Structure 1
Amino acid sequence: MLKLNLLEETRYEKVPVKIYPDDSEASIAIAHRVAKLIKDKQQNNQTTVLGLATGVSPIKVYKELIRLHKEEGLSFSNVVTFNLDEYYPIQPDAEQSYVRFMKQNLFDHVDIDMANVNIPDGTLAQEDIADFCLAYEQKINSYGGIDLQILGIGRTGHIGFNEPGSAPNSGTRLVTLNDLTRRDASKDFGGKDNVPKKAITMGIGTIFKAREIILMAWNEKKASIIKKAVEGGISTDVPATYLQMSANTEFVIDEDAAVELTRFNLPWLVKDCQWTDILIKKAVIWLAKTLQKPILKLTENDYNTNGMSQLATEFGPVYNINIRIFNNIQHTITGWPGGKFNADDSQRPERALPQVKSSIVFSPHPDDDVISMGGTFIRLADQGHDVHVAYQTSGNTAVWDDDALRYIEFSIDFAKSTGQDVTYLTDLYASTTAFVKSKQPNQSDTKELKTIKGLIRKGEAVAGARLSGLRDENIHFMDLPFYDGSKVEKNYSYEADIQQTMALLQKVKPHQIFAAGDFADPHGTHKICFEIILEALTRLRKTEAWTKDCWLWLYRGAWHEFEIHEIEMAVPLSPQEVERKRLAIFKHQSQKDIPVFPGDDAREFWVRAEDRTRETARLYNELGLAEYEAIEAFVKWKFD
């Protein structure tokens, strides 16, 4: 019966999927499978042939293999390896080279014979590549093929560097990299323009010949492509879907990467559910959106013909369910994000008391506040609350070099016009210009250049916060040390960041905290900043009485928005407030037009913000709620 139930749950999945709570547990399990294979082969005096991947996904696998070697005697003396790919052209000692990656993360720490290590050569003359690729294939075949192939998956669905359009019988070859793949690699190379346009990769046909294939994927960023690879039709547009044709493949993923699989995202379509309030809300909203009907117009037939008959039977009549969910969504809407004094707050997302709340908006970068919740920020200030903003990092890495030089030029001209000595400034301009001209990809800026870029963003943030209605004394620049320190220290401790955050919270003693919950930030800063806040609050809640009356609200908007069923406070904006928010965003001139780190979205930040808040308002309206110009959305953090 259990087997039948599992088959029912996974009926949309076209390849075996094993799911672990997190990437650490999954990586250890994979490493132990590799180790068992090596040991079994050793007992029979046989060579183990491994196909290896690079990137973030296999790092913890390699770390566990190193531990097994050092602590439990796992030997790699009988192991031959073939790496999937390498950038072209690239030198083996380049920071981004996969030769360097493999040495740093595995080979330098185990007893493998480097003569048994095979990695595509990024230094070849182009006319020699075809012969090299043929020899690579022949060498794999000479060992009888690959025993176990480890794969990651790119957001284009590529395996190795087999980009969309790759043929299922392709062999090792030179390929052109997809633009999204190059954008994903841009941080490692100090900008997309520095990422090689080509790579040498094993083909899909080569990968298919492996006797066992494990594809790994971690975190929610990979969830959408995992759903396509596992549940989608076989398509050249998503090369990983070819693995559905292999009888030797298993996807090993963590829970975050699994969230969009049907059995987790839409469980009512595959099994009887334990219907929690949030699952009922999600299902009803899904049904309304799928049928393009307002919630109050959904019928019993709609439920029964769309996989929700269990819900209708157990909690019906369906009109009562509809009214309940409609009212729940309606009660998320408030024009008073700080609470409405002298009003019944039993159906409102925020408390009425105290009348004047102390609120603090944490902004990971100097513009996240106005981009993601600028309208709410303005409304809190306009409604008389004591609003603070805390810019957690300087954001100095996101300023163009020529903008910094322009500010030095301005300083020189201003000093000259007032009769001041400009020797220091002209020397600074000369040394900075020389540094910029010789600057290498990913090279850290000089201390002076970092300072200038930080001051540029500080000035813009002050202007945006003032326009939003804040007093200067309520604008805090934290410049948390992790922003620079974690880039140079391998095992960076965040204690100083946590202590600084605790000190600010103790000073303000807020009733409300707004923090970035947009963990799709491609550089990870949002997530780190949130974890620092959460740790600071967790510690303070043990000793500080004011924390018991402190609510933590999460906002999104710079990268993507909360789903409708997740939203617990929806703040509608008038056309005038949308325009005022836009003007606050415009104060961040260094981020206008083409920012240094635009992410996947080519639109300017103010356009993204407006489109997403208008989309939230549109979805509310289509569900049968009132029509608003825009809506900013929030979710309340639940402390244990």
Structure 2
Amino acid sequence: MAALKPATLKDLDPRNQIERIPCCVFKHAKSASEYVAAQIAELIRERAAEGRPCVLGLATGSTPTTVYAELVRLHREEGLSFAGVHTFNLDEYYPMQPNELQSYVRFMNENLFDHIDIDQANVNIPDGTLPEEEVLAHCAAYEQKIVDLGGVDIQVLGIGRTGHIGFNEPGSGRESRTRMITLDKKTRQDAASDFFGEDYVPRRAITMGVGTILEARQVYMLAFGEGKAKVVAEAIEGPVTPIVAASFLQEHDNAVAVLDEAAADRLTRYQAPWLLGPLSSGPGGVFEWNDYWTRKAVIWLARKLNKPILKLTEEDYNEDGLQELLAKKGRAYDINLQVFRQLQATVTGWPGGKPLERQQPGDRRRPHDEIFPKRVICFSPHPDDDVISMGGTLIRLCDQGHEVHIAYQTSGNVAVFDDDAIRYAEFMAEFNKQFGINPEQTAKLEEHVETFLRHKQPGQVDSPEVQTIKGLIRRAEARAGARVAGVPEERCTFMDMPFYQTGRVRKNPLGEDDIQLVIDFLERIKPHQIYCAGDLSDPHGTHRTCLRAILTACDRIKDRDWYQHCVVWLYRGAWHEWEPHQIEMAVPLSPQEVMRKRNAIFKHQSQKDRALFPGSDPREFWQRAEDRNRGCAQLYDKLGLSEFEAIEGFVRWKGELEGVV
């Protein structure tokens, strides 16, 4: 009988039991992408040295783009050759012409193939142009070609909101092969922005099967951002089920989930690492009961038991896996009080600071501010993010006498319905006709707009004239919303950052021109406070790009004298909210301020009732904002703090650029 192998600390780490797909978690998506690109590059060089082909399975979507960018860099700067590489893409919409904006052929060419030395004969992507009766044979030939090359060496995957890998939607079996599939409604909703509306998203696609994917020698499943956290946890820690196709990777000997911390946030190691015991090294190294984890654990326990923080007992701690916290920190009462006071200190009705004359006797919790009033900039990625995400705080800042500026970073012109553009063009024509203003030019513009939009194909880029009209619509709405909040028109700046000006949902990379625009604006205003969107789950990526521009600009001017008095706050609200253990400033709103915020959002009429790109949340933006703000207030109330109508939460930027830039 063979001797038992001694258990190592790695074997005993509880994460390796609960995480049934091994995880590599990086602080930021950029580092994760570079890691995967390095693994691919190493194999390509290894196979080239052996004189053997390297077979890669590739994915599309926003997740792998940084992997491809790094591979392009390695090719250009370090001589990585793709001459011996064969590629097989996971999927393609059906029907789909290769030159269409949404085509995965076009996506792969633009992001990878056009920039490397790969032989186009070695590139394989499911053919979305075939007659339906030929698709079955095409799928069989696709499978056979993989077999003839000896199988896929490395398969790169993303994961969809339904848990799909490739387009293997819920119900896809373990043995499924390359085939035609009908897309799930959630998948089509997530793709709507690329097609300028869900109605234009194809209902079918051709995809590699789960069985095909599982035959790859090595699989890397990438997931980035808060929006993927829930399904990632289901795939990695949940049961193997056809309902979540990615869960089949638990049965693969060499599958690895490559995540950023945001996507890993729902894993037990991040949600409640104390449940894994002392042998777990924790999410970011050796686990320590610092203030952050103590606060998170106590709030977790209070929410789990539905009890106010100050009513938690030592029995509660012991019975729910927090014995070690008691052992390290002492009595439950003292821990409760510490966390309660930390949360209480986040609440302020004076987001710009309190002037000396408003200081109340005995108010030691928030001393008066030396600088009052302040110059404040709210950066709004789209023309409505300001009032949606921090409209109540804008109202407070204006009413309390601060000099508030709003900088709208992009035009938002792709998110306007064609009917609205026609309506406004007709209005302009009628107005000019009434006053005899340029009748010939006006008639020509009206004819162009109506003719262009009447014959416009799904996903077609708008003409410059139509883009201008749609941009003007968003500007007018932004100014109207700002007025409701109390910001005068002369303090509304429309930056029209160049990266956005493609007319497409897919934007250009952030450039120096974009960053310099932000620097110039900051130097002109010299703000004491900066507010910007930390809502990085924005499905179109604009929020992340706009944040990179701001934080890069701040980093470059951090030595300026005026910047030494500047604080940068990150807001959320359009897609996700900060968790209570993260919030560092909680601004309570009265019922009247909630209504005023709603009215400000209502001024964005082109986004009202039904936005062109609503994302995965069917609620209107004002409903999302109010539900999240009220939910935050109700949570504070349940934890034992004061009861408010609504709360907007903020996190202070600590000056770290890695992964965001």
Q: TM-score, normalised by structure 1?
A: 0.91
Q: Shift of residue 23 of structure 1? A: 4.4
Q: Shift of residue 157 of structure 1? A: 1.2
1:303 is aligned with what amino acid? Y
Whether the 8 Å CA contact 2:192–2:613 is kept in 1: the answer is no
- Point out the more displaced range, 442-451 or 511-520: 442-451
Q: Distance in 1 between the 2:316 and 2:463 partners?
A: 63
Whether the 8 Å CA contact 2:416–2:606 is kept in 1: the answer is yes
1:403 maps to 2:417:
no
Q: What does residue 282 of structure 1 align with?
A: 296
Aligned counterpart in structure 2 of residue 358 of structure 1, from 370, 375, 382: 375
1:158 maps to 2:164:
yes
Q: What does residue 181 of structure 1 align with?
A: 187
Using the aligned pairs only, state the percent identity: 55
1:596 maps to 2:612:
yes
1:365-400 deviation digits (Å, cap 9, x = unpaired):
222221111112112222222222222222222222
SS at match of 1:528: helix
Whether the 8 Å CA contact 1:165–1:236 is kept in 2: the answer is yes
Query: Number of matched residues?
Result: 638
Q: Distance in 2 between the 1:63 and 1:482 partners?
A: 17
Whether the 8 Å CA contact 2:223–2:260 is kept in 1: the answer is yes
Q: Shift of residue 69 of structure 1? A: 6.0
Superposed counterparts of 1:409-420, under 5 Å: 409-420=426-437
- Point out the more displaced range, 19-28 or 189-198: 19-28
Whether the 8 Å CA contact 1:338–1:351 is kept in 2: the answer is no
Q: What does residue 638 of structure 2 align with?
A: 622
SS at match of 2:346: coil
Q: What does residue 291 of structure 1 align with?
A: 305
Whether the 8 Å CA contact 2:462–2:503 is kept in 1: the answer is no
Cα 1:127/1:577, change in 2 over 3 Å: same
Superposed counterparts of 1:194-209, under 5 Å: 194-209=200-215
Whether the 8 Å CA contact 1:522–1:599 is kept in 2: the answer is yes
Cα 1:387/1:2, change in 2 over 3 Å: farther
Q: Distance in 1 between the 2:26 and 2:12 partners?
A: 16
SS at match of 1:566: coil
Cα 1:253/1:335, change in 2 over 3 Å: closer
1:3 maps to 2:3:
no
1:285 is aligned with what amino acid? I
2:297 is aligned with what amino acid? A
Q: Shift of residue 81 of structure 1? A: 3.8
Q: Distance in 2 between the 1:502 and 1:48 partners?
A: 45
Aligned counterpart in structure 2 of residue 612 of structure 1, from 625, 628, 644: 628
- Structure 1, unpaired ranges of 5+: none
User: What is the root-mean-square deviation of aligned Cα atoms in Å?
Assistant: 2.9
Q: What does residue 377 of structure 1 align with?
A: 394
Q: Distance in 2 between the 1:360 and 1:50 partners?
A: 47
Q: What does residue 406 of structure 2 align with?
A: 389
Q: What does residue 342 of structure 2 align with?
A: 328
1:456 maps to 2:473:
yes
Q: Distance in 2 between the 1:562 and 1:245 partners?
A: 35
1:484 is aligned with what amino acid? Q
Whether the 8 Å CA contact 2:181–2:204 is kept in 1: the answer is yes
1:446 maps to 2:452:
no
1:337 is aligned with what amino acid? P
Q: Shift of residue 231 of structure 1? A: 0.9
Whether the 8 Å CA contact 2:225–2:536 is kept in 1: the answer is no
SS at match of 1:252: strand
- Structure 2, unpaired ranges of 5+: 1-6, 279-286, 657-661
- Point out the more displaced range, 513-522 or 589-598: 513-522
Q: What does residue 487 of structure 2 align with?
A: 470
Q: Shift of residue 296 of structure 1? A: 0.9
Q: Shift of residue 561 of structure 1? A: 0.8
Q: What does residue 452 of structure 2 align with?
A: 435
Whether the 8 Å CA contact 2:348–2:587 is kept in 1: the answer is yes
Q: What does residue 118 of structure 1 align with?
A: 124
Q: Shift of residue 5 of structure 1? A: 7.4
Q: Distance in 1 between the 2:438 and 2:151 partners?
A: 72
SS at match of 1:11: helix
Q: Shift of residue 265 of structure 1? A: 3.2
1:523 maps to 2:529:
no
1:569 is aligned with what amino acid? M
Q: Distance in 2 between the 1:492 and 1:4 partners?
A: 40
Q: Shift of residue 2 of structure 1? A: 6.6
Q: Shift of residue 219 of structure 1? A: 4.0
SS at match of 1:624: coil
Aligned counterpart in structure 2 of residue 565 of structure 1, from 572, 576, 581: 581
Whether the 8 Å CA contact 2:155–2:216 is kept in 1: the answer is yes
Whether the 8 Å CA contact 2:380–2:386 is kept in 1: the answer is yes
Q: What does residue 440 of structure 2 align with?
A: 423
Cα 1:236/1:443, change in 2 over 3 Å: same
Q: Distance in 2 between the 1:540 and 1:107 partners?
A: 38
1:318 maps to 2:316:
no
1:476-521 deviation digits (Å, cap 9, x = unpaired):
3333333216979997563333333333333333222222221222
Whether the 8 Å CA contact 1:586–1:592 is kept in 2: the answer is yes
Cα 1:596/1:639, change in 2 over 3 Å: same
Q: What does residue 554 of structure 1 align with?
A: 570
Cα 1:347/1:26, change in 2 over 3 Å: same
Q: Distance in 2 between the 1:274 and 1:486 partners?
A: 49
Cα 1:635/1:214, change in 2 over 3 Å: closer
1:306 maps to 2:320:
yes
Whether the 8 Å CA contact 2:510–2:545 is kept in 1: the answer is no
Q: Distance in 2 between the 1:518 and 1:113 partners?
A: 40
- Point out the more displaced range, 178-187 or 591-600: 178-187
Q: What does residue 639 of structure 1 align with?
A: 655
Q: Distance in 1 between the 2:558 and 2:338 partners?
A: 34
Q: Distance in 1 between the 2:599 and 2:116 partners?
A: 57
Q: Shift of residue 424 of structure 1? A: 1.7
2:256 is aligned with what amino acid? E
Cα 1:262/1:374, change in 2 over 3 Å: same
Q: What does residue 347 of structure 1 align with?
A: 365
Aligned counterpart in structure 1 of residue 515 of structure 2, from 479, 491, 498: 498
Q: TM-score, normalised by structure 2?
A: 0.89
1:322 is aligned with what amino acid? N
- Point out the more displaced range, 185-194 or 399-408: 185-194
Cα 1:29/1:569, change in 2 over 3 Å: closer
Superposed counterparts of 1:208-227, under 5 Å: 208-227=214-233
